[in-house]
Structure 1
Amino acid sequence: MPFVLLAFAILFEVTATLALRGSEGLSKAGPTAVVIVGYLLSFALMAKALTSLNVGPVYAIWSALGTVGAFAGGVLLFDEPVRPVTVAGAAIIVVGVVVMNLGGGVGHG
């Protein structure tokens, strides 16, 4: 169950981050509301997941998948460019999270 909470936390974080772009500097009410609600839900769900998972690996997973999700969303929704070096950077982030998780378990105890 904590990994399901983490997955939803990542989904809400990516949604909020993409809504930041659509909010035009927080000047549009609808996207700004999505930003606020999305980040609140993301942090609440991650906090709940952290009651049974270790903070280091969880934060690494959350931030890495959030970064990759925001990158993909920017490409799909805002026609942002995809460059080989950007794809390589995203791959390095994912590899880093995998290596970090190989170093120890994500669960308490």
Structure 2
Amino acid sequence: MPPYALLAIAIVAEVIATSAMRASEGFSRLVPAAVVVIGYGIAFYCLSLTLKTIPVGIVYAVWSGAGIVLITLVAVVMYRQVPDVPAIIGLGLIIAGVAVLNMFSKMQAH
């Protein structure tokens, strides 16, 4: 599987796991707690596979940046937690930083 497809799976699995964490109510609800554990397991497994070909700085920037943005969108839809102007600016800066790393960085995996 292409490394960026694995990275996308890792991101989606992490977002699902993080979203389920709130629903697990401190791991007191079995099904959401299981989703958290399984989701993070899939996320970290796929993330580890991407590190074979993509530099760790790029992988982590894309994974964490995309995760932050997607979790914010989930929070808006599921929990009606609407970001204010500073939060939107911060999210824009995260997206810009990840874009700069991907477009201009000369990092290589070893």
Which of the five TM-score ranges fits, normalised by the shorter chain?
over 0.9
Unaligned runs of 5+ in 1: none
From 91, 103, 106, give the equivalent of 1:104.
106
Q: How big is the shift at 1:80?
A: 1.0
The corresponding residue for 1:9 is 10
Determine helix, strand or coil for the equivalent of 2:28.
coil
| Percent identity (aligned) | 37
The corresponding residue for 1:50 is 51
After superposition, residues 18-29 of structure 1 pair within 5 angstroms as 18-29=19-30
Greater mean deviation of Cα atoms: 92-101 or 8-17: 92-101
Whole-angstrom distance in 2 between the partners of 1:25 and 1:80:
20
Runs of 4+ in 1 over 6 A off after TM superposition: none
Whole-angstrom distance in 1 between the partners of 2:12 and 2:106:
25
Whole-angstrom distance in 1 between the partners of 2:91 and 2:16:
18
Whole-angstrom distance in 1 between the partners of 2:106 and 2:14:
25
What letter is aligned with 1:103?
Answer: S
Q: Does residue 1:77 correspond to 2:69, yes or no?
A: no
What letter is aligned with 1:92?
Answer: L
What letter is aligned with 2:105?
Answer: G
Alignment size in residue pairs: 108
Greater mean deviation of Cα atoms: 67-76 or 81-90: 81-90
User: Normalised by the size of structure 1, how large is the TM-score?
Assistant: 0.92
Deviations 1:50-102 (A, max 9, x none): 11111101100000000101110011111112211111111111111112221
Unaligned runs of 5+ in 2: none
Deviations 1:23-50 (A, max 9, x none): 1111111111010000000000010111
The alignment's C-alpha RMSD in Å is 1.3
